[in-house]
Amino acid sequence: MKLKVYIVNAFTEEKFGGNPAAIVPLKTWLSEKTMQQVAAQNNLSETAYFVPQGEDYEIRWFTPTVEVDLCGHATLAAAHVLYDHLGYNREQIIFHSRSGPLGVSREGNQYTLDFPSKEPVETGKDEMIDKALGLRPRHLYKSAFDYMAVFENQAEVEALKPDFNILKNHASRGLIVTAKGDQTDFVSRCFYPQSGIDEDPVTGSAHVVMVPYWAKQSGKNTFTAIQLSARKGYLNCKLSGDRVLISGHAVTYLEGEFYL
């Protein structure tokens, strides 16, 4: 069996920026074992698969080691494939997922994700996180998926050199670190060694946690954000009731075929 695959860099306008996702359009689902094996072979932070569901689509996301419940950059990348490569022409795509229905629209060459807001709850200090980061955050929060550490400034976030051997044993999906930005409203980095990804280049799903936090801190509901990985990602975000709108660009890197 021969299948199409696209590699799309999300949240960037640069060919080698943003977060690369492998996108595999399907007519019917492959076995879970096969989808996990393909994701491990691709060895990107996520491989996304989608199948038609009436006028909508179902979507699933796999890291090299596990299936995840929510992924922003690969959803944006999947929408890019549908719009730019597969002739989709409706105003909005609805993806049905483990996290409910997710909308993606396009205006010009920018895509907007409509995701559920996941406001974090402040928690006490965590010695394992402190040790893994080598620095105690100003505040520590917990969300539905991840912990979020808030630091004093962008320089502290940039300087972090986590011990991933410690962090991968932490009882969470991963760790978001964030601070006010120097040239943007806020910045972040995201670490997911528990899911086989030491540092994720750009993490759309982390922004459903950060946006309600920064909205409460600032009194604003629209934000510019940069994820400070080596590849960097650029996002525009808006808190809209119980939803977070996350906008960014996408660039196709590869279109090909693979064999099963």
Q: Where are the domains of the chain?
A: 2-117+246-259, 121-241
Distance of CA 16 to CAs 230, 232, 255, Å? 10, 10, 15
Amino acid 255: pLDDT: 98
The per-residue pLDDT for range 130-141, each reduced to its tens digit, is 999 999 999 999
Mean pLDDT computed over every residue of the chain = 97
Amino acid 31: pLDDT: 98
Report residue 145's pLDDT band, with 50, 70 and 90 as the boundaries. Answer: confident
**Domain 2-117+246-259's class?**
alpha beta
The per-residue pLDDT for range 160-209, each reduced to its tens digit, is 999 999 999 998 999 999 999 999 999 999 999 998 899 999 999 999 99
Percent of the chain as helix, strand, coil, to the nearest 5: 25, 45, 35
CA 142 from centroid of its chain's CA atoms: 17
Q: How would CATH label the architecture of 121-241?
A: Roll (3.10)
Reported in sequence order, the residue ranges of 35-165 that DSSP labels E, i.e. its strands, are 46-53, 56-62, 67-68, 92-97, 100-107, 110-116, 121-122, 139-142, 147-150
Amino acid 193: pLDDT: 95
Report residue 144's pLDDT band, with 50, 70 and 90 as the boundaries. Answer: confident
Pairing of strands 46-53, 19-25: parallel
The per-residue pLDDT for range 49-58, each reduced to its tens digit, is 999 999 999 9
| Residues 12-16, mean pLDDT to the nearest whole number | 95
**Residues annotated as catalytic (active site), given as ranges:** 46
